[in-house]
Structure 1
Amino acid sequence: MTNVRLLVITKAPVPGRSKTRLTPPCSPEQAAAIAAAAVGDTLDAVRAAPVARRVVALDGAPGGLELDGFAVVPQTDGDLGTRLAAAFADAMAGSSLPTLLIGMDTPQVTPDLLARCADLLVASGPGTAVLGTAPDGGWWALGLHGAETAELLTTVPMSRADTAELTRAALEGAGLTVLDLPELTDIDHFPDALAVAVECAPESRTARVVASVAAALEPA
């Protein structure tokens, strides 16, 4: 077991609030179904990873989410950078465990991949961070040794083509060495969902739900 905390930040899957950039071509209900599948697969991978603690920073009511094995902290108000910083602070309160934060939109993650990312974070030691970028210029994972470092995220513009670059620059500007994690595609638009579903196990929620939505969207 790696002495790391895994932190998942997610919205509760609700039509009209979840994965809105999937619409169109998806309906709000289809987008929420894909979001729910991605959250479920992500939580399963985190639950199976050999780490010390698991936390979900949740926006909204749990609803049908299976959160057994996780501590749950509510997300704060504010923009994404503010919410990310607060999620780190809330999850790390009272504990010095290094923390690896991921979103819910890379459901192709596996317990083995998360374990390797966590091991790198621990082995790198204080004064470092680990960052997993996405092809669209964002990032899917960030590992830190202290919650105070996460305050830097409040200064980084999010959901842009240069978000990962700016995040790296902010971390390095604070004197940290940034180590790279594997790049993963995250689900923002429907072509992303199709690409990610191929990388998921065929029996996964994401693969099954995306295939069902794709079939429903095919012209009659």
Structure 2
Amino acid sequence: MRAVLAAPPPTLLVIAKAPVPGRVKTRLTPPYSPEQAAALAEAALADTLRTLSAVPAGRRLLVLDGEPGGWLPPGWEVVPQCGGGLDERLAAAFAHAAPDAPALLVGMDTPQLTGPMLAEPLSSVRRKGVDAWYGAAADGGFWALGLARPSAALARRLLVGVPMSTPGTGAALLDRLTDEGLTVSHLPALTDVDTAREVQQVAALAPGGRFAAQVRSLRLSPEVAG
């Protein structure tokens, strides 16, 4: 019981781009303008950070490409992303986590994420015997990766060279987790916001969030959104 109570709280990592028009959510243009796509990205990021602010954690780190803005809530440290492809940037994010506490990394594309989806599996009791956490995305990718004993070397073995943004990305990562002999806890599958159709789907899943409010304010017709 003492060991459980003394378990260190996790490090929460969010990897994101600053919501600058023309640099984020470019697959939403058209039907959305670059400015509208950036507004949606900012809302999704703000919702994600707000949700994770309520999840028990030792540290909260935003691994950011760009400069922070007024959307950044208190209690978050900002560290710059490294260069290279997405696989290298994801792996490098784990280098900011202490090796003696679990670390979980999520992106900015799942504003429907709720606190209990992470708080429960990362709790001291539930994480006993777990080596990694994996959240599958509906498009075949993944929205979350957590490591019970994070290290830069392990993250590189898991991520560098995995083809990103393909229908097989998630399966390739799971294969590497298996090859490492890690016991994996599966988080709920979620839909990433990458297309106009997914914008509408995700907004409907979390109607009370800033993302859904932004979607409503843009008033894109269902025919165009589809």
* TM-score normalised according to structure 2 size: 0.88
Of 99, 105, 111 in structure 2, the residue corresponding to residue 107 of structure 1 is 111
Distance in structure 1 (CA, Å) of the matches to 2:22 and 2:79: 23
Alignment of 1:20-169 (within 5 A): 20-89=26-95, 91-92=96-97, 94-119=98-123, 123-125=127-129, 128-144=131-147, 145-147=149-151, 148-151=153-156, 152-169=158-175
One-letter identity of the residue aligned with 1:206: F
Q: What do you get for the CA RMSD once the two structures are aligned?
A: 2.1
Of 159, 173, 196 in structure 1, the residue corresponding to residue 202 of structure 2 is 196
Distance in structure 2 (CA, Å) of the matches to 1:121 and 1:46: 19
Determine if contact 1:121/1:143 at 8 Å carries over to the other structure.
no
Aligned residues: 215
Percent identity over paired residues: 49
Distance in structure 1 (CA, Å) of the matches to 2:20 and 2:104: 26
Determine if contact 1:98/1:122 at 8 Å carries over to the other structure.
no
* Structure 1 unaligned residues grouped into runs of 5+: none
Of 190, 211, 225 in structure 2, the residue corresponding to residue 206 of structure 1 is 211
* Structure 2 unaligned residues grouped into runs of 5+: none
Instruction: State the secondary structure of the residue aligned to 1:30.
Output: helix
Alpha-carbon deviation of 1:118? 1.8
Determine if contact 2:47/2:111 at 8 Å carries over to the other structure.
yes
Alignment of 1:12-23 (within 5 A): 12-23=18-29
Distance in structure 2 (CA, Å) of the matches to 1:160 and 1:218: 27
Normalized per residue, which structure has more helix? 1
One-letter identity of the residue aligned with 2:211: T
Alpha-carbon deviation of 1:114? 1.9
* TM-score normalised according to structure 1 size: 0.90
Distance in structure 2 (CA, Å) of the matches to 1:24 and 1:68: 34
Taking structure 1 as reference, are residues 209 and 22 closer, same or farther at Cα in structure 2, changes over 3 Å only? same
Determine if contact 1:121/1:130 at 8 Å carries over to the other structure.
no
